[in-house]
Amino acid sequence: MLSEQELEKSPLFQNINYRDYQEILSCFQAVQRVFRSDELIYDFSTDAVGVVERGQASLIRIDEDGVSTVLEDLGTGGVFGKSLAFAGSTGDSLEVICRHPCTVVFIDYTHIFSLCGNACQRHSIVVQNMLKLVANKAQALSRRVDVLSRRSIREKLLCYFRQLSQQAENRTFTLPFSLSTLADYIATDRSAMMRELKRLREEGVVRSDGRQFTLRL
């Protein structure tokens, strides 16, 4: 259960007053839970849709050889669920893991994606909020595809750097994670990526200090 202040900042329950919020929770059979770091949040075995209200989580894929890959980064407003992510290929499993302590709301997906008998107005506001969240998710996934569809490590790096630079509205920006994770994010070998990064630095295309980078175009 959220406090009144938290409610205002809630991605899913924005623009809803406190009393309506309480009714919605029961009407939607919504469940709210708190998770600690490294806890398993969701394993794609149910039809629930989850919304990260606060904290940070990752959607990871574990293939048959046990290799795990981060498919999505879920911050505040992040959404996940069977109906939103492809149920991975047979053999590998999907999981949502807590990175930083999280508050997550679970809602049965039929309550969101189907028409509500008593077409209440609160309902439609929740749907509207959900639409925004899913649109953001689509945008984030598009960015990821943009990067991954490049043909070489160099191009992948530059593409991702440009995205970060654009988001920061600055030539200088900070990586949201470690260099090791970056290699995973662009789906390449870490050492090969380091080599390419070195080359980019030597050629003067980028400057870098730790996780802080500057594009010199």
Partner DNA sequence: CTAGTTATGTGGGATATGCAACGGAAAGGA
Partner DNA sequence: TCCTTTCCGTTGCATATCCCACATAACTAG
Which residue ranges make up the site for its own copies (CB under 8 A)? Answer: 15, 61, 69, 71-72, 83-86, 88-91, 112-113, 115, 119, 121, 123-125, 127-128, 130-132, 134-135, 137-139, 141-146, 148-151, 159, 162-163, 166, 187-189
Stretch that binds DNA, among 119-127, 140-148, 158-166, 180-188 (CB under 7 A): 180-188
- Return the DSSP state at 45: -
User: Closest approach of Cβ 103 to DNA, in Å?
Assistant: 20
> Does residue 68 belong to the site contacting DNA (CB under 7 A)?
no
- Dmax over CA atoms of the chain, in Å, equals 64
Q: In the complex, what is the shortest distance from the CB of residue 66 to DNA, in angstroms, rounded to a whole number?
A: 13
CA distance 146 to 135: 16
| DSSP one-letter string for 60-92 | EEE-TTS-EEEEEEE-TT-EEETTTS----TT-
CB of 128 to its own copies, least distance (A): 6
Contact partner at residue 5 from DNA, its own copies, none, CB < 5 to 8 Å by partner kind: none
CB of 104 to DNA, least distance (A): 22
| Closer of 17 and 37 to its own copies (Cβ) | 17
Which among 48-56, 68-76, 95-103, 152-160 is the span making contact with DNA, rule CB under 7 A? 152-160
* CA dihedral of 96, 99, 105, 106, whole degrees rounded to 10: 10
- Our finding on whether 211 is near DNA (CB under 7 A) is yes
Q: Which does 19 bind (CB under 5 to 8 A by kind): DNA, its own copies, none?
A: none
Residue 60: Cβ-neighbour burial (10 angstroms; 0-12, 13-18, 19+):
middle
C-beta of 25 vs 140, nearer to its own copies: 140
Pairing of strands 48-62, 68-74: antiparallel
CB 139 within 8 A of CB 193: no
Is the CB of residue 102 less than 8 Å from the CB of residue 57?
A: yes
